[in-house]
Amino acid sequence: MSALRRKFGDDYQVVTTSSSGSGLQPQGPGQGPQQQLVPKKKRQRFVDKNGRCNVQHGNLGSETSRYLSDLFTTLVDLKWRWNLFIFILTYTVAWLFMASMWWVIAYTRGDLNKAHVGNYTPCVANVYNFPSAFLFFIETEATIGYGYRYITDKCPEGIILFLFQSILGSIVDAFLIGCMFIKMSQPKKRAETLMFSEHAVISMRDGKLTLMFRVGNLRNSHMVSAQIRCKLLKSRQTPEGEFLPLDQLELDVGFSTGADQLFLVSPLTICHVIDAKSPFYDLSQRSMQSEQFEIVVILEGIVETTGLLHMPLFTRKNQC
């Protein structure tokens, strides 16, 4: 069994078929020759390698209304397909509504029937039906300029609607275009050019047992005021008997000495000294391989080209 574990690692467990045919039963060393390996059920990460947190909010109830109170941030946080759908839907509904208002004014004044009378002055010239009213609205909203269709001074309700349309159009443009601009300028993709080492290692450095990993920047543009932090996510039970499923512990990577402030122009090695204050101090090599924990690395900095704050996440399970 030890030879099998050395060959396949701890991701598999040795099982055998019982003689009664009741299924697969775990076996210890020397308990029968008919053994096979089946993969263990892997634990899902709390934070994926791309920085996405695997957290789902449930049982919110009436708390969902809080998202609508900050509608702008809610729209920015939505996925791109929903943003594009809301963008197109809002403009389509607003355009159809305002075009309908122009058609209603022409209909109530009788302009649709008297448009071809020579001495009659309509509210909007050359508006005969809904498509022509829609085209007049598009010319007004897009500031293309009046030519064949134009508003006259004999229609006070049309002037009021024109002012309302200008105000409403400015609000919709500022809200939706601002939302799309903020979403496009988010520096999430900047994390694709920030590389972390595939594995973290524990070794002696300067006479101290140290947990180390590397980080590097592939772009020529710098990360201004770059700062790195590490969190250890591990379940634990308090002396009072309370179970904490995702307890967060801070890993010191140079906060006291200022080593956490990075000048990221070349690949750097981030070090965490395993001393009496470290959460790994009481763990042996075997217990570290069997324990379930996760290290989340947070690199925070300002993108030089855009001036936006960027905070990519990197996660590593207990694969040291």
The pLDDT score that the predictor gives to residue 85 is 93
Prediction pTM value: 0.59
Tokens at residue 232, please?
Answer: 């250890």
Q: What is the pLDDT of residue 44?
A: 66
Tens of pLDDT, residue by residue over 53-63, are 666 666 666 66
Q: Quote the percentage of the chain above a pLDDT of 70.
A: 73
**Sequence-ordered list of residues with C-beta below 8 angstroms from that of 40, at least 6 positions apart, any chain:** 10, 11, 12, 13
CA distance 89 to 100: 16
Whether the CA torsion 276, 279, 282, 286 is positive or negative: it is negative
CA 16 – CA 29 distance, rounded (Å): 11
Using the predicted structure, report yes or no on whether residue 288 has a pLDDT greater than 90.
Answer: no
DSSP line for 204-245: EETTEEEEEEEEEE-SSS-EEEEEEEEEEEEEEE-TTS-EEE
CA–CA distances in Å: residue 78 to residues 41, 42, 73, 75, 232: 32, 30, 9, 5, 29
User: What tokens appear for 241 in the block?
Assistant: 């008997």
Whole-number average pLDDT of the chain: 77
pLDDT of residue 125: 82
The pLDDT > 90 percentage for the chain reads 7
For tokens 């009788």, the residue is 110
Tens digit of each residue's pLDDT (9 = 90 or more) over 121-138: 888 888 888 988 888 888
